[in-house]
Chain A
Amino acid sequence: MASLNRKRIRLGNHDLPFQLVLLAFGIVTFFPLVLVIITSFKSNTQFYHNFWLPELPLHFGNYSSALRIIWRYIVNSVLYSGSTICLIAMIASVAGYVFARFIFPFKTALFLGFITLIMVPGVLTLAPRFVLVRDLGLVNTPGALISVWVSGGLVLSTWLMRSYFESLPQELFDAAYVDGAAEWQVFIYVSVPLARPMIATVAMTTLISTWNDLIWPLVTITDKDKMPLAMGLMQFSSDFETDWGTLFAGYVISSIPLLCVFAVAMRQFISGLTSGSIKA
């Protein structure tokens, strides 16, 4: 974060007013979350009796009974999103590499076939895509989710990978060719390791969008055992509608997986997005 270390000309002599406004902002933002965490340790009587404050004894039982239901949704989501991310990373880096490094007939036309899809919104294709997936016999299988998530994610990912590979200096590749590397070796041993930051970005955006997708699972998955987390939470919230403690314990648990990812990858994610790489 080099940009943070340089001295800026600042307004006023103190941080205090800014800090206070930001603090107020932060409190309003996080207050509902804190209340959810507090309530997740309460029994229903405690909740109705004392709405705002934490109260002893803490009911850890809420967490075990919520976990019994939620774990399956989390495992499903990890499997679905994980396989989507792997497939997109592989397919998009190969496609991006081909588009970036070679000249061949119909290259422009093929690439336009990718990027014009950015303008096609998901709502336009929702209904016909459901019919298609149904006719392919994929309804209520993980295939319904993964196939559509992968093809949807490929559009932007291929573009990102292509521009990243194009930005790598030609000398790197020349060095590998001179050393006698075949094209696939150049790809695997030179290009992919260099593209790791961009692959991480692609993985992150794919994770966020698939993890939060509610509508597509809602129309294609009917089996409770196969629901991903977003849809499972809908189910969970109607199953435990008035059992507030368990309900909120489930809410807290369902935020933990992304919290772990956040802890590991956030530094990179923020610096990647704010380093000025995004220009309209």
Chain B
Amino acid sequence: MTIPAIDMLAILPQTIVIVTALLVLLVDAAAGQARIDRQVLPWLSLLGLAAAAAAAVWLSLSGQPHYFQEMAVADGYSLTVMLVILLTAGLGVLLAQATVPHISHQAGAYYGLLLLSAAGMMFMGAALDLLVVFLALEILSLALYVLVGFNRAEARSAEASLKYFLLGAFSSGFFLYGIALVYGATASTNLEAIGAALAQGTGASASQSLYLYAGVAMLLIGFGFKIAMAPFHMWTPDAYQGAPTPVTGFMSVATKAAAFGAFMRVFVIALPAAQPQWSWALAILATLTMTLGNLAALRQSSLKRMLAYSSIAHAGYALVGLVPGTSQGVSAVLFYLFSYVFMNLGAFAVVTALERLGENDVLNGNFAGLADRRPALAAAMAIFMFSLAGIPPFVGFFAKFFVFSAAMAEGWGWLVLVGVLNSVLSAFYYLSVTVQMYFRKADETPAVAEAAGKSKPGLRRAEGKGKKGAAAPAAAAQPAETALALSTRSLSVAVFIAALGTVAVGLWPAPWTQWISQAVTAVFGG
């Protein structure tokens, strides 16, 4: 008997990220004694992420997929997902530099958890086995639960963490049951083996098809929770609002990219036999997700909550691309996730820059007259809002265009119509932010007071501050200095990169779509 050779290259990028996470924790632990400035931690994290990205690029240029014992793979598709996640994590580190020193003394734990979570996400994209998908899901979730509650001084952060944890653990129970049922139908947890067994007619008998469809439904619930698909989206606004803003930005983009990465591989590679059923289920869920997300986003006074509902709506748009189950659709979704990194993380970077210290939220009214006070930041925010609304020439337009045309190609006309109508609906709340920045004066305090007055009990703290502002106009007349409180250079760099990506990828989408569709066709075929 011989021990099979293990191709460690297949998990090289993940290994680099995990080793970096451990190094960060070690350096943090030794920092006190060895007199190391903890400012090196974010730079160490960025270095590790860059090294992992370089490894991923090198692996994808070498052409051949590397298999890790039929469990994980480094092929074009998984490497593209990894690069999206690494980019998000890098921007997430830049965002965190502005906030972490203010909310915690444990910077090492923050960056360590962020990297471990990113490693779990990278395994999601690379997984070839349902067991690996489950483990990756748990690795990324456990780290995120802690990150959401990282602001120990803030009750709302702890509450967001608790809610996210309870619902996340609940959903992973469903996901696991889905794995067990699909295993019961096909006697395998390997994605390609499942696909082959189903193609040969396993799963046709009454009990097997019962297991199969129940299993597919359970897997759908499990993935639905992670990508914030309605009706499994209840945790999203609470977790996104309560979490420290850099965490919100990171998780809103990276979790979606990772979950979609595994979602698409599981459904398109392993379960094409059940495609007629899951296509319809996904089409209905996508409709529900887009509509609920946009309708709820319309009536939010907290910007973070508005962006949370908007991210639910965007999960719906991305789902539209998965409905046809074609490789064109998969590459459209991948491009969507890539472009979403820039526009959504950029929006959260601006929110981070505007937050008053210790408040951890921005009300819509705080945007009034931003264009006069901080023209560059306002311009960046306008770009992100236009892009999220899907207005050309920004990247969000092309992302939506590719997703919708992939659905259109397979005859899902009504779904595309719903998507387009929803985009129009979403333009209202995205553009209202822009209008406030450019056409309202900062000293028109009613905007702040009104927003605060209308806000729900959940915003009690912010409400109190808003009312104080209304009672003493003098205090509200100088919002500029409170708004400036958090900004640092790394935050500006993050906003700049995000804005650059939103514009540049929007103006030259061709090289990116080419790269992505090549990577996808190699894995998913024609």
Partners in one complex: no
Interface, chain B (partner A; CB < 8 A):
none
Interface, chain A (partner B; CB < 8 A):
none
